[in-house]
Every structure is written in structure tokens, then in C-alpha cells.
């Protein structure tokens, strides 16, 4: 096995595909992103070209590429080599000896006594090993009221012993934790049943592999592989809408898994009854199990997610005000929220700058503007006056008494965080003040939020009112 980045006459088909993928990524990602993040990726070539393994020299770069380009890399490889099933991205120091892909466990390996409900592989059959994300475990799943039922259901389905319910149908918006829970279920189940057959795949991959099997006139192997699973997890069911032949095979697969008393997990962006273009018989079967929704995340959950991710980066310091900004402004997806944090910390590392509110705002730019709430400075001033029992003219006056100056600074701080107005524009709205006064106000409130509980509570309350 060697790391390959180019092509010559004796190069393998996989290495040729990788060269084309790199060329496509250079064009689509742009020179800056490619050189910083994608150029260091190396191909670890093995005997099998269906499960691609890529390596990077650092864990930080590996996590960034996984967060931003994992799906894209799989798509690019499949466009060149339709037989590719998965793309794994690992950290391997370049000076280290070559790493050989692990061979499947031998068929003669004994089945642990602790797994009586899982059948041992038949003679000569390889044990299925899904390509799982090592980060997506139950321990790293942040829970609150929005996803507690889903977490408990996932843990119950993964637990040893008789199957309590199947299928488990998880539904919720993009990036709310469905894929995380599916990976966590697979991790836990395999920990208790090391010889189990487990498959985690998207509905799109299900369709792709089934069509490929039909073209190769080898649907028997495809059917046997899926229906022999002890745990089958299929994500993004909505993508087989309108695909009649694929739906027919999917229905029979679901029937076989359920009839055998095996575990089945399905995820989609909507509840079964709301999925258009899916056959009624499939929806009825899926609805007969446990259907659980994952509701949109709360600000508290998003803030906790960020705090945990920062705790996993001991060499990085992210102020509370920046975490609050991300949690309050990026509300559509936990995945996008984590991506924003990665972008801020990565840019700080690459530029050597300190992370603060201004740096985060400048770095995220379009991302924050895309989630910008329609809050005006007038609304902020009105709420601040009501909270502190002041008159509107007090915020515009030259008075420097703390009872007025502090609320004025808080209002400026909120205006900087919640609007797209420039510093001079904000200053003009507060009695024609200079932009340097606004900068001072923002930095002062950032400092006080870490040391003055009263100020922090006031800001928290006002942010909640402006978010309502």
C-alpha cells in the first residue's frame, strides 16, 4: 500500500480516479481552500477499490475535511468509479509506516456468548463492518427536551437482548442529530455484538447499489447482504421518493428484516405520513414501529454543543460572547453550527489572530448574514429603555452616570451583535457618537459578561426578548 498523488503507466484504477477527484476539487473548491485543506490529503491504496481510504497528517485537518467535504468526496469518487461504496478519512502521520487496510474477521471466529440474539456468520461469509464516524457516539450526543425521546429510543434499540421495537423511525430537520444517533446505535450494538452484521447506508446509496446489481445481473448478492443484517440503518429515506423499482426492493428488505426479528432504523426529514412519493405500503410498515421526531434545537442546546466542542480543543480559547453569538444566530442546524465554530477556530489558527466578537463576525460574514434576524436599532433601544426604566432620550444624551451609561453600552453591544449596521451608523443612532465609542462599549460589555452577573443576566434577558 502506498500514498499516491499522481499518475503513471502502472498506476491503479483507484489512483487514476483519485487524480481526477483532486483535479475536480481544485476547480470547485478554489485554490485557497484546496491548498490549505485538500492538497495534503493522500490516498491509501489497498486491494479493494470499493472502500476508499484517505489520510491526512493531523487530527485537526482530518476533522475539518470530514465536516466540510466527506459527502463531496464520496460523490466525486462515485462519479469516476461507480463501484465505490464508502470513503473513510483518517489521520496518519506521514512519517509513519504504511498502514494496511484491516481484513475482514475470519468466519471461524467464535460468537461471544453475550450475543445470543445475533446469528453467527455463515461459513465463508465476511462480517459486515460499516464505515462509521468515530466521533458520533452516545457519549458525545448533547441532549435536552427536543431530542431526549429520540436518544432514549436509540439507546433502547441498541441495547442487548430481545428486540423491543423495530423499526425505529427518526425524523427531523437537516443537521439536528439523526445521523449522529444512527452512528451511535451502530457503535453501541457492535460493541456488544462484535460479530454482528451491521450496515449503515443512505437511501441514495441503497438505490445506487441496487441499480448497479440489476445491471450486473447480480441482485441475489445485494438482497442477501442487506437481508442478512442483524442491524440495518438507512438514512435520508426521502431520496427514494418516486423511484418505483427501488421502493419495491426496499419494501421487501424491510419485510424480511422485520419478519426475522432483526433491528431496523430509518431516518428521514419528515414523518412517514408526510413523505410524498413513497408507496403507502412502505409508510404503513414504517409507521408500525416507533416513530420519534427530533425537534429544532433550543438556544441552550446549541450553546451546550459549542461549549463541549470547545472543551475538546484544549489549545483554543473561544470567549463566551462568541459562543453566544453562534448559538443565537445559527439556528437551522447543529451541523452548520459546529461548522461555524470550526471555521472560526481554523481561521484564528491560520492567521494567528485572537478570537473575539469582531473576529468571529468578520470570519463568518455571509453565514451570519444568512441567519440575520430582522432586528432594528430602534427596537433594541426601546427594549433597553423598558428594561432599565429609562427614557429614549437618555440613551442619546451626553450623560455619563452609570445608571444611563451602562444601559447605553448594552444597547450598543446588542446593536453590533444583532444588526448589520456599521460602527459609524450605530454611533449616529446613539446621539452622534464616534465609532470608537461603540467599539469601547462592545468590548466593555464583553468583559463584564464574564465578571458581572447582573450585566450578563440583563443581556441574556434582552437577547431572549429580541429573539421572540
Q: What is the pLDDT of residue 103?
A: 32
Domain end, chosen from 71, 91, 111, is at 91
Residues 145, 191 within the same domain: yes
0.95 surpassed by pTM: no
| Residue 100, in any domain of the structure | no
Same domain, 169 and 290: yes
Answer yes or no: is 413 within a domain. Answer: yes
- Please report the pLDDT score of residue 40 as a whole number: 87
Per-10-residue mean pLDDT, the chain, length 468? 41 81 81 78 74 83 81 84 86 47 33 38 48 88 90 93 88 88 94 90 88 85 85 90 87 88 91 85 88 87 91 86 87 86 90 89 77 76 92 89 92 86 89 91 88 86 75
**Which residue, among 275, 342, 268, has the nearest Cα to 305 in the 3D structure?**
342
CATH label of the domain that carries residue 352: 1.10.8.60
Buried b (16+ CB within 10 A) or exposed e, 241-263: eebeebbebbbebbebbbeeebb
**Same domain, yes or no: 331 and 223:** no
The C-alpha atoms of residue 344 and residue 322 are separated, in whole angstroms, by: 10
Q: What's the pLDDT at 97?
A: 32
Q: Say how many domains are in the chain.
A: 4
pLDDT of residue 153: 94
CA distance 181 to 148: 11
Amino acid at each position: 500500500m502506498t500514498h499516491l498523488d499522481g499518475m503513471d503507466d502502472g498506476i491503479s484504477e483507484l489512483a487514476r480516479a483519485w487524480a481526477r477527484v483532486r483535479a475536480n476539487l481544485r476547480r470547485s473548491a478554489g485554490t485557497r481552500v484546496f491548498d490549505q485543506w485538500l492538497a495534503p490529503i493522500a490516498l491509501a491504496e489497498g486491494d479493494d477499490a470499493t472502500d476508499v481510504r484517505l489520510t491526512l497528517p493531523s487530527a485537526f485537518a482530518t476533522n475539518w475535511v470530514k465536516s466540510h467535504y466527506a459527502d463531496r468526496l464520496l460523490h466525486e469518487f462515485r462519479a469516476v468509479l461507480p463501484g465505490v461504496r464508502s470513503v473513510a478519512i483518517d489521520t496518519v502521520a506521514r512519517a509513519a509506516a504504511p498502514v494496511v487496510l484491516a481484513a475482514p474477521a475470519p468466519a471461524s471466529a467464535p460468537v461471544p456468548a453475550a450475543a445470543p440474539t445475533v446469528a453467527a456468520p455463515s461459513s465463508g461469509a465476511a462480517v459486515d463492518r460499516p464505515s462509521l464516524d468515530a466521533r458520533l457516539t452516545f457519549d458525545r450526543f448533547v441532549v435536552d427536551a427536543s431530542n431526549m425521546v429520540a436518544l432514549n429510543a436509540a439507546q433502547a434499540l441498541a441495547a442487548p437482548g430481545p428486540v423491543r421495537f423495530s423499526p425505529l423511525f427518526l425524523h427531523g430537520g437537516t443537521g439536528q442529530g439523526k445521523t449522529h444517533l444512527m452512528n451511535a446505535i451502530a457503535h453501541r450494538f457492535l460493541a456488544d455484538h462484535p460479530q454482528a452484521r451491521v450496515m449503515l447506508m443512505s437511501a441514495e446509496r441503497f438505490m445506487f447499489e441496487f441499480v448497479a446489481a440489476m445491471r450486473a445481473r447480480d441482485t441475489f448478492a445485494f438482497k442477501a447482504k442487506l437481508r442478512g443484517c442483524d442491524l440495518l440503518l438507512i438514512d435520508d429515506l426521502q431520496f427514494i421518493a418516486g423511484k418505483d423499482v427501488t421502493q419495491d426492493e426496499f419494501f421487501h428488505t424491510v419485510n424480511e428484516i422485520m419478519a426475522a426479528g432483526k433491528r431496523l432504523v430509518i431516518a428521514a426529514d419528515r414523518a412517514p405520513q408526510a413523505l410524498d412519493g413513497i408507496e403507502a405500503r412502505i409508510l404503513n410498515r414504517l409507521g408500525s414501529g416507533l416513530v420519534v421526531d427530533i425537534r429544532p434545537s433550543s438556544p441552550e442546546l446549541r450553546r451546550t454543543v459549542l461549549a463541549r466542542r470547545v472543551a475538546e480543543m484544549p489549545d483554543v480559547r473561544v470567549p463566551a460572547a462568541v459562543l453566544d453569538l453562534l448559538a443565537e444566530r445559527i439556528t437551522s442546524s447543529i451541523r452548520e453550527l459546529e461548522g461555524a465554530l470550526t471555521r472560526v477556530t481554523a481561521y484564528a489558527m491560520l492567521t494567528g489572530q485572537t478570537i473575539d466578537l469582531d473576529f468571529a463576525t468578520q470570519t463568518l460574514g455571509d453565514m451570519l448574514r444568512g441567519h440575520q434576524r430582522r432586528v432594528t436599532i430602534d427596537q433594541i433601544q426601546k427594549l433597553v429603555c423598558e428594561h432599565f426604566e429609562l427614557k429614549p432620550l437618555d440613551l442619546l444624551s451626553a450623560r455619563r452616570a452609570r445608571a444611563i451609561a451602562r444601559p447605553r453600552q448594552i444597547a450598543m453591544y446588542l446593536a453590533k451583535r444583532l444588526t448589520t449596521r456599521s460602527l459609524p451608523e450605530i454611533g449616529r443612532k446613539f446621539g452622534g457618537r464616534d465609532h470608537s465609542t461603540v467599539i469601547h462599549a462592545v468590548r466593555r460589555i464583553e468583559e463584564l459578561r464574564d465578571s458581572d452577573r447582573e450585566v450578563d443576566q440583563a443581556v441574556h434577558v434582552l437577547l431572549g426578548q429580541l429573539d421572540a
